[in-house]
Amino acid sequence: MSDFDPDLLKAVAPFLWDGLLTSFGLLLLAMAGGGLLGSLLAVMRIAGPRPIAALAAGYVNGLRSVPLIMVIFWFYLLVPLVIGRAIGAFTSALVAFVIFEAAYYAEIIRAGIQSVPKQQLAAALASGLGPLQAYRFVILPQAVRKMLPILLSQSIALFQDTSLVYVVGLHDFMTAVSVTANREGHLVEFYLFAVAIYFTLCFAASQSVQLLNRQSVSP
């Protein structure tokens, strides 16, 4: 490491920054898509007819039982064979993340909703609110407060998992670091730099989660 020139980081910073932006873009889109699909699955399990609830439960348990990297491979290698045309690396990775993370978000959301005492729903309905209004104004505000720290913790894990997209050649932050490290011949320095970036971002986010946790349990 003695021959490493710190100015090299400045020279490759735009390339690394582009990779980091790709990671953040994948994270935000996967959070939004996974959250929406996860909410639908949670509602299906809580309020759907038994066959619908069983279908949602099978989806959640099935996706939680396989590794994420396998799901990424499915959508990058197998799905194009089924539909007869190629799918871009970013699109295939995004779909894989949305479908995979939805299973985890669904359980978090379901647990948050079910943590609200049933008497709250009964009282809301007795006061004249309809079922949708009761969930919107009474149940969900309480549930969101309880499940937000867990949702953010899952999102931190999701950000770390974005590094797996190197298997499909997507130019994310970890791929950019790997390409630069091999090209410049400074593997240790660039991988330590990657560790520092991931640690800084994830540690800051985890501190925010702890703050939210303390606020959610405070009276």
Q: Is the pLDDT of residue 5 over 80?
A: no
Q: Tokens in use for 185? A: 């011949």
Q: What is the pLDDT of residue 199?
A: 93
Domains defined for the chain, CATH in brackets: 7-217 (1.10.3720.10)
pLDDT given for residue 2 in this prediction: 57
The lowest-confidence range among 17-21, 39-43, 113-117, 129-133 is 129-133
- Looking at residue 196, what is its pLDDT? 93
Of the candidate ranges 100-104, 109-113, 175-179, 214-218, the one whose mean pLDDT is the lowest: 214-218
Write out pLDDT tens, residues 171-212. Answer: 899 999 999 988 888 888 889 999 999 999 999 988 888 887
pLDDT level of residue 107 (50, 70, 90 thresholds): very high
Give dist(CA 95, CA 97) in Å, integer: 5
**The predicted structure's pLDDT at residue 197:** 92
pLDDT digits (tens, 9 = 90+) for 147-167: 888 888 899 999 999 989 988
Q: What is the 3-state secondary structure (H, E, C) of the chain?
A: CCCCCCHHHHHHHHHHHHHHHHHHHHHHHHHHHHHHHHHHHHHHHHHCCHHHHHHHHHHHHHHCCCCHHHHHHHHHHHHHHHHCCCCCHHHHHHHHHHHHHHHHHHHHHHHHHHCCCHHHHHHHHHCCCCHHHHHHHHHHHHHHHHHHHHHHHHHHHHHHHHHHHHHHCCCCHHHHHHHHHHHHCCHHHHHHHHHHHHHHHHHHHHHHHHHHHHHHHCC
pLDDT of residue 131 exceeding 80, the answer is no
Task: Please provide the average confidence, as pLDDT, over all residues in the chain.
Answer: 87
Judged by average pLDDT, the poorest of 20-29, 48-57, 116-125 is 116-125
Tell me what percent of the residues of the chain surpass a pLDDT of 70: 95
| pTM for this prediction | 0.85
* Confidence at residue 62, expressed as pLDDT on a 0 to 100 scale: 93
